[in-house]
Structure 1
Amino acid sequence: MAASESSVNSRARAAVAALFLTNGALFANMAPRLPELKRELELDTAGYGLLVTAWPVGAILAGLAAGALVRRFGSAQVAVVGTIVTGAALLAAGSAPGVVLVVLAFALGGAMDSITDVGQNAHGLVVQRRYGRSILNSFHALWSVGAVIGGLMAAGAIQMNLALPVHLGISMVLFAAVALTALKFCLPRSAELAVIEPVAPPAPGTAQAAAPAGSRGRLLLMMSALVLISVAGVMVEDAGNSWSTLYLGQLGAPAALAASGFIALVGAQFIGRILGDGMVNRFGQRGMAQFGGALIAIGMGLALFFPTVPGTLLGFAAAGFGSATLVPAVMDQADKLPGLPPGTGLSIVSWLMRLGFLFSPPLVGFLAENFGLRTDGVPDCGTCGACLFASAASRKPAERWNRGARKP
């Protein structure tokens, strides 16, 4: 790789990292202040539930449009515009006088967040192909760093008694500036198109041949495998987000220690993503998916069948580390599914994962209500078998990084 191209790639990598960090920080600035918003709007529990549900509903309604927007305008441009509008929607939610306007603002924010997510991942995958090795996990790790930064900003704003519109206005301006600066260093549209594998045109004078039934069947099989793997990762994250504190409390852990289940899972997931690129480059995505699935099964099994506080914390940590590389791997493979336009597979899988985040909590809640909270891990242990069905991932570590990579 020539020195000038190496410099361009390094700047593009830093720019994508900044976009991921910004995306993680934006909603994290709002999340700690949601109870304050509930009090100001005088919402009851049902109204608050409607409010927080508006974000994923907006994401689901708009998510499938992301692929078409990426193809039309470019992934970096879509990610940056989505970031700016997400920040503006959060500011509007924090400034709106009534619950209806807040719900609409949240729905818009969720829609833009889902489009941003596809755009930044699509651009990160383009940069990854130019590198010829895995770097996507590090971007997802920086999303977590951004979430921590956003949470700390919110905590500081609360401590300083900053009004919600002032706080969210500062957040919007700051991260819009970061996103616009990052856009200057992202790959140009021409370079992005250069690494997308072209589809051979039909021979002159002949009609476009329909895809063979076997090819369609294989595509459906690969997409199904990717969706199952992504759902496994989503449900593991939901176990930590929604149920770990309650489960540890039932085991007798004091309130302060009960929160450690979430910290153990997310902390181990962050470490797994920091180390993930090196492991993927060495062992391949298929090997890491199989290892991750096995580690999730061991971790959740340890938490469920040996219900002690230390065993549960260790189990959540193992599950977090096992799930760390699953979602980035799924996004990479979905973006390279044969027979689909660029961005389509990525949009579909991202959309289905958001459906998982929306429906996982009530599903696990139903099981917990009717069969006991220990069945929380049943979906995780069951769906982690999909991780072993990882034939859609690369067998060889470097087999597919170089496909479509730009030659020096």
Structure 2
Amino acid sequence: MTTAPATALAPPRAARVATWAYFGLNGFAVGMWVVHIPNVERATGISHSTLGLLLLILGGAAFTGMQVAGPLADRLGQRRLVPAAGVLLGLSLFGPGLAGNWWTLGLALAVFGFSNGSIDVAMNTHAVVVERAYPRPIMAAFHAMWSIGGAFAALIGAAALHAGIHTAVSLSVCGVICIVVSLIASRFLVEADQDEPEQSADTEQVAPPARLVWALGGLAFGLMLAEGVANDWAALQFRDILGTSTSTAAYAYGSFAVAMTVGRFATDRVAALIGPAAIVRYGAALAAIGLTTVILVPWVPVGLVGWALFGLGLSGGVPQLFTAAGNLDPRASGALMAKVVGLGYVGLLAGPALIGALTHWMPLNVAFALPVILCVLTVLAAPVLRPIAAQPKEDAG
């Protein structure tokens, strides 16, 4: 095996910090857009229904960006694609704040969605490369940084709104921050071939079975659908089913979000001890128990515990699935990641809509049986991760 000169390699720790920066930056950018949605809606004079349609454009553009970025990451390398996607994300933030009507906002959201999907796949693919240089899992902490970035956006965005700062100014400043940080962090990124042993010429490379890719994507779909349900319906469940005030209802999502963030910071060390399959299996089981508690017990303190257990259970599963997808075939890591991340993203978008549709025929808490069933199915399907987890160690030998 040949090794590149030490001076040509970014230290793994520096690459890890740089990847943290991109995840945090992405969460911050998305969060800043979310907190400014009401202002953008008023500035463009559109209705709620029109906004809903434009958000579908954003989601479709994000999915397209994921499918484009995956093969590009394999062809151009993550070290080029990640900062390029970060700069594009920063530039795209200027659009929503400057939009003056429905069609300019639709165009701005299409660009924003495409850039967000692109950096999502690119940074996750790079995170897998960085993780290979470490003796233990580190992927979940990257996803925790995304949550931290979103939390900062909520605080800073709320302060900007309270101070009366124009939406165009807030989003533009956020865009400039994205561009500057992306360019600075880019010098610490690494390429896949820098951290992996070379394959001998007579080693036959076998493409992963399509059913395995679809299995990972299906698990990502189910877990992210459950996450989407919590994002959009946790507070409403407290208000409409338990009859709490709006302020109290906010604690339902808060307990979920805090537990998920804490769980992601803790997941990596637990995964190093028990393995990714166990993380997915027992995490999904805990999530099912938590949401079942929410469904069955009409008491606010117990409900808060239930949402916290739901967030804690879901916190570690998706990072394990993304790592597994990136390690199926290092030659096509980006393309495989795009498929699994894309299916997960579809679940994230579909979850709230499916629950909304079910509420036409049943109470909201009964509709929550759907994510519970998906969590149970994940428990049963989690062993699919075992041979994937073992593969990198066998290759390294």
TM-score using structure 2 length: 0.91
Residue 163 of structure 2, aligned match among 160, 166, 169: 160
Pair 1:175 & 2:178 matched: yes
Aligned to 1:391: 383
Aligned to 1:67: 70
Query: How far apart, CA to CA, are the structure 1 residues paired with 2:262 and 2:88?
Result: 31
- CA 1:252–1:325: 2 relative to 1, 3 Å: same
Aligned to 2:274: 283
SS in 2 for 1:391: helix
Pair 1:193 & 2:183 matched: no
Aligned to 1:224: 214
Amino acid at match of 2:283: G
1:268-325 Cα shifts (integer Å, max 9, x gaps): 0001001011000011101111111110111111111223222221111111001111
Assess if the C-alpha contact under 8 Å between 1:331 and 1:349 holds in 2.
Answer: yes
- CA 1:114–1:200: 2 relative to 1, 3 Å: farther
Query: How far apart, CA to CA, are the structure 2 residues paired with 1:13 and 1:236?
Result: 29
Aligned-pair CA distance for 1:157: 1.7
Query: How far apart, CA to CA, are the structure 2 residues paired with 1:400 and 1:145?
Result: 32
Assess if the C-alpha contact under 8 Å between 2:325 and 2:333 holds in 1.
Answer: no
Query: How far apart, CA to CA, are the structure 2 residues paired with 1:3 and 1:364?
Result: 53
Aligned to 1:116: 119
Aligned-pair CA distance for 1:337: 2.1
TM-score using structure 1 length: 0.89
Assess if the C-alpha contact under 8 Å between 2:23 and 2:142 holds in 1.
Answer: yes
Query: How far apart, CA to CA, are the structure 2 residues paired with 1:74 and 1:396?
Result: 23
Aligned-pair CA distance for 1:393: 1.6
Aligned-pair CA distance for 1:236: 2.1
Aligned to 1:138: 141
Query: How far apart, CA to CA, are the structure 1 residues paired with 2:194 and 2:83?
Result: 21
Query: Superposed, which structure 2 residues align to 1:246-325 within 5 Å?
Result: 246-249=236-239, 250-325=241-316
- CA 1:272–1:3: 2 relative to 1, 3 Å: farther
Aligned-pair CA distance for 1:392: 2.5
Aligned to 1:88: 91
Aligned to 1:337: 328
- CA 1:4–1:324: 2 relative to 1, 3 Å: farther
Query: How far apart, CA to CA, are the structure 1 residues paired with 2:300 and 2:394?
Result: 46
Query: How far apart, CA to CA, are the structure 1 residues paired with 2:338 and 2:77?
Result: 14
Pair 1:50 & 2:62 matched: no
1:237-275 Cα shifts (integer Å, max 9, x gaps): 122211111111121222211111111111100010010
Query: How far apart, CA to CA, are the structure 2 residues paired with 1:327 and 1:200?
Result: 33
Q: CA RMSD in A?
A: 2.7
Amino acid at match of 2:232: S
Query: How far apart, CA to CA, are the structure 2 residues paired with 1:198 and 1:386?
Result: 38
Assess if the C-alpha contact under 8 Å between 1:286 and 1:394 holds in 2.
Answer: yes
Query: How far apart, CA to CA, are the structure 2 residues paired with 1:342 and 1:7?
Result: 20
Could you tell me which runs of 5 or more consecutive residues in structure 1 were left unpaired when the two chains were aligned.
none
1:61-82 Cα shifts (integer Å, max 9, x gaps): 3321121110122113212111
- CA 1:184–1:396: 2 relative to 1, 3 Å: closer
Query: How far apart, CA to CA, are the structure 1 residues paired with 2:182 and 2:382?
Result: 35
Query: How far apart, CA to CA, are the structure 1 residues paired with 2:41 and 2:9?
Result: 49
Query: How far apart, CA to CA, are the structure 2 residues paired with 1:237 and 1:186?
Result: 30
Percent sequence identity over aligned pairs: 25
- CA 1:311–1:263: 2 relative to 1, 3 Å: same
SS in 2 for 1:384: helix
Aligned-pair CA distance for 1:199: 6.9
Query: How far apart, CA to CA, are the structure 2 residues paired with 1:132 and 1:403?
Result: 14
Pair 1:22 & 2:13 matched: no
Query: How far apart, CA to CA, are the structure 2 residues paired with 1:339 and 1:74?
Result: 12
Amino acid at match of 1:56: G
1:186-244 Cα shifts (integer Å, max 9, x gaps): 11x3xx224457677679xxxx99x7xxx87xx23322331232123212212221111
Residue 242 of structure 1, aligned match among 222, 227, 232: 232
Aligned-pair CA distance for 1:331: 0.3
Aligned to 2:101: 98
SS in 1 for 2:243: coil
Assess if the C-alpha contact under 8 Å between 1:245 and 1:260 holds in 2.
Answer: yes
Aligned to 2:342: 351
- CA 1:154–1:377: 2 relative to 1, 3 Å: same
Assess if the C-alpha contact under 8 Å between 1:287 and 1:395 holds in 2.
Answer: no
- CA 1:290–1:248: 2 relative to 1, 3 Å: same
Q: What number of residue pairs does the alignment pair up?
A: 392
Query: How far apart, CA to CA, are the structure 1 residues paired with 2:40 and 2:261?
Result: 30
